[in-house]
Structure 1
Amino acid sequence: MDTQVISTICSNILPQIHLQVHKLTVEEHSMKQILYAANYPQLYSLSLVNFHEITLHRYLTDDLILRDLLTKQITHLNIDIIKPVELCSEIVSNMFALILSLCKKLIALNFCDMFPTRQFQSLIFHVILEIFISSTLMKLKINVVSLIDCLYILDGPFVCLSTLIINIGQIFHICLRIDPTKKLPQLKCLSFTVQIGRLNSTYIDGIQLYDQFLIYMTQLKKFTFNIKSEVYDMNVEVELQSNEDIQRSFIGRGYQKVASYVNTNVCSRYSECHIYSLPYDFEFYVYPQNSFQRGMFHKVRKLKMSDGIPFEHKLFKFIAQEFPFFKFLYICNDNRQDDKQDSSTLITFPYLTFLDLEKAHVDYAELFLLEKNMHLPCLVNLSINNKSLTTITNNFTNDPTL
């Protein structure tokens, strides 16, 4: 926002409405000016967006007005960091601990998971060990590096935590200083996303989820999950489950409807299985091979398509119907389309703002960028390799409507 506009708002508007302000969203360059413009006695929800990690950490450490608000008033806090200086940033980890120690009335925290295109993983298990017990936090949304972070959250200081929405980067075995059989009586809602690489093992299925995970969550009322198992066979005979086996593993254990996709490649050392609860409850849908369940993807905003066989025109018609609100599309497929005869039907993606065709065959550039094939009224960002772009435009000489 223009600095002059912000100055006008802070000088003329906020002093008049400050008693009625309940929720506030501020950016890095305007936060201090807005917070110092007036007192906000009714403010309970604060969103800090577009911050650099060092700047936000400095504010949390040194800014007395912000610290006072967090300590005495804020019950709902949303944090957004533009981009960490490094993966698993120590500053971000310390910021998580600092927020929890400052916010004495905090009920809900979204930590760096506000936007589907700007998510990064936090390494937090080591700082959780130093956090005093939080008697107020009931809802947490976060991305973490590994299952270890997740387990320490569940075993940690959040005695009232009832809703956990968590995306886990990886799972590996390590000695933990926690009780793996500890009951979690307060947890009522768990949303769980993970992509797992396994060596000489089977796919994650309903039996494993229940016996090793859910059985300890005695009061859980809602469990939504999105799990992809990638199995690597290093010349060890492992009998992998079929899609029918996966579906049967969820029967009789209290699960709601579950979708599954199994791709067991006997000629390769790599196989995969994707399982997720329905209706699909996540903003990001990854690796949707040429197989979908109908009517379940209205919450998806970010879609990544990757496969070893071509995506045909009819599949994109299906996606337009089943993913009606997505805004970000990534296509990774270097296989040319086999059937272009059906391309006479115009496809519309009304909310698509970002399209990535960097790793896509030129056929997909032709399909999406020629107006006779696609209508993309909101597209503002395009990532495409120069060869594809010059090919479909005949070195930028073609009429784009043809």
Structure 2
Amino acid sequence: MIHISKRCQESTSIKDINIFIYTQIFTRFKNLKNLNFNPTSASQYDQLIFSPSPPRIFSSTLLQLRVVVETYEDCLYLLDGRFHRLNTFYVTICSSDGLALPLINNEKKLPNLQCFTLILKSVLLAYNNFLIPLLHRMLNLEELSLCFINHNTPIIDGNDLKMNIMNYMTKLKKFKFNIHSVIPFNNQINLPSNEHIQHTFKNFANKNQIISSIDCFPKANEFHCHIYSYPYIWTDYDNITNNFRGGLFKSVLKLSLVDERPFEHEFFLRIAKSFPCVKELHVHNRESQKNDNQQWSIIEYSYLTQLDLVKTHENYVQQFLNNTKVSLLHNIYLRVDYNTLQRVTENFTSDTTRMNCSKIKYLILYNQPEFCSPNLKDYFAHAEIW
């Protein structure tokens, strides 16, 4: 047991506590072979931040490491040769800060590394000067998994993956990826079609099916290209639009839906069927719904507990709070704009939305006035309101 006193917790930053625990693990377990340091979380409580004075930790026994770090620099620190027998490395990087990459060797080969997984929670802004050089160090890699959103570099497609990654990994047996490229739209006329993107995967040496989709967002001045291997293995699926191609995604727990075209009821029905285990849903759409068909079926999200409707048209607040359209679980955590919520619920009196509102346990209100409607607390009788 590694003991941290209450006084230490009060006087020390989370960063220092995590580094202390990390250091103590290697100090006390001299023959450590497998370290799992909170790999499935990306909160600040689980991140390792090594700069500016990283600890001098080395191990000649460590074979597998799963870790969440803050920056590219922290990732490179762990691969600078201090764990020279490491054969499996799972890393989640939470921030894209630190673009002036540090003076850490990103050239020394990693001949023992056989399995590498990288998940980037923020936007990747260093594809060519961080990720590609890092992968080129892994000469004997057999399994590779990549998940990131890439901004402002040329679109990553099958040709890019073959030229920059696969051609350097002659022993690669499994390659799973989820890559979202975002470039300025600028009314360009030479943007690739989805058929073109699919063609770049012709003769692609991968046993998995490759899915691709493209989306234009003129208002946001963005062009998106999404490529991923299927079956999908990741827990997050971001930026789903009306162009969503369907499929079954049992691993996904967190979703974000984004478009400049309206989401109709049928779209949400497809989402519920394709993502049966989703727990957290974010909807970003300012366009009003067009289809007012009254013959809709009730949608059930069997595991949904967190719902973010802050950046949406009021139609989507109505969509989820109307119990004739969506059946919610109890204990829902809801984020929503106060004024939108007040309109949709007819100043917190509507019977149509009352049932689902009674299932809200935590209500986070944005743009909340100093004095709220007196009906609010009674309408959300079971909710803690912020």
Work out the CA distance in 2 between the residues paired with 1:350 and 1:175: 43
SS for the counterpart of 1:251 is coil
Work out the CA distance in 2 between the residues paired with 1:329 and 1:290: 16
SS for the counterpart of 1:166 is strand
Match of 2:192 among 238, 241, 247: 241
| 1:160 correspondence with 2:90 | no
Work out the CA distance in 2 between the residues paired with 1:183 and 1:137: 13
- Give 1 or 2: higher helix fraction: 1
State how 1:94-243 maps to structure 2 within 5 Å.
94=51, 98=55, 101=57, 104-112=60-68, 121-124=71-74, 127-128=77-78, 131-143=81-93, 145=95, 155-156=107-108, 158-168=110-120, 169-172=123-126, 182=136, 184-198=138-152, 201=154, 203-232=155-184, 239-243=190-194
Question: Compared with structure 1, are the counterparts of its residues 365 and 173 closer, same or farther at alpha carbon in structure 2 (3 Å cutoff)?
Answer: closer
**AA of the residue aligned to 2:277:** F
Displacement after TM superposition at 1:69 (Å): 4.3
Match of 1:55 among 14, 17, 23: 17
SS for the counterpart of 1:272 is strand
Cα deviations by residue, 1:346-397 (Å, 9 ceiling, x for unpaired): 1110111111001011111111122222122154311111012212222222
Question: Compared with structure 1, are the counterparts of its residues 102 and 184 closer, same or farther at alpha carbon in structure 2 (3 Å cutoff)?
Answer: closer
Contact 2:307/2:334 (<8 A) preserved: yes
- Counterpart for residue 32 of structure 1: 3
**AA of the residue aligned to 1:384:** V
Work out the CA distance in 1 between the residues paired with 2:133 and 2:264: 50
Identity in percent: 25
Contact 2:33/2:64 (<8 A) preserved: no
Cα deviations by residue, 1:99-135 (Å, 9 ceiling, x for unpaired): x93555433322128xxxxxx6553256357552421
Normalised by the size of structure 2, how large is the TM-score?
Answer: 0.74
- Counterpart for residue 227 of structure 2: 275
Question: Compared with structure 1, are the counterparts of its residues 193 and 334 closer, same or farther at alpha carbon in structure 2 (3 Å cutoff)?
Answer: same
| 1:377 correspondence with 2:347 | no
Q: CA RMSD in A?
A: 3.7
Displacement after TM superposition at 1:67 (Å): 4.5
Count matched residues: 337
**AA of the residue aligned to 1:246:** I
**AA of the residue aligned to 2:35:** H
Question: Compared with structure 1, are the counterparts of its residues 191 and 154 closer, same or farther at alpha carbon in structure 2 (3 Å cutoff)?
Answer: farther
SS for the counterpart of 2:310 is strand
Work out the CA distance in 2 between the residues paired with 1:130 and 1:140: 15
Specify every segment of 5 or more residues in structure 2 that has no aligned partner in the other structure, as ranges.
Answer: 6-12, 357-386
Question: Compared with structure 1, are the counterparts of its residues 121 and 180 closer, same or farther at alpha carbon in structure 2 (3 Å cutoff)?
Answer: closer
Normalised by the size of structure 1, how large is the TM-score?
Answer: 0.71
- Counterpart for residue 92 of structure 1: 49
- Counterpart for residue 83 of structure 1: 44
- Counterpart for residue 304 of structure 1: 256
Match of 1:263 among 201, 204, 215: 215
- Counterpart for residue 341 of structure 1: 293
Cα deviations by residue, 1:24-71 (Å, 9 ceiling, x for unpaired): xx9xxxx6389xxxxxxxxxxxxxxxx93222223344x5xx444443
Work out the CA distance in 1 between the residues paired with 2:20 and 2:138: 35
Work out the CA distance in 1 between the residues paired with 2:316 and 2:239: 17
Cα deviations by residue, 1:315-363 (Å, 9 ceiling, x for unpaired): 1111111101111100000111111315631111011111100101111
Contact 1:57/1:95 (<8 A) preserved: no
**AA of the residue aligned to 1:371:** N
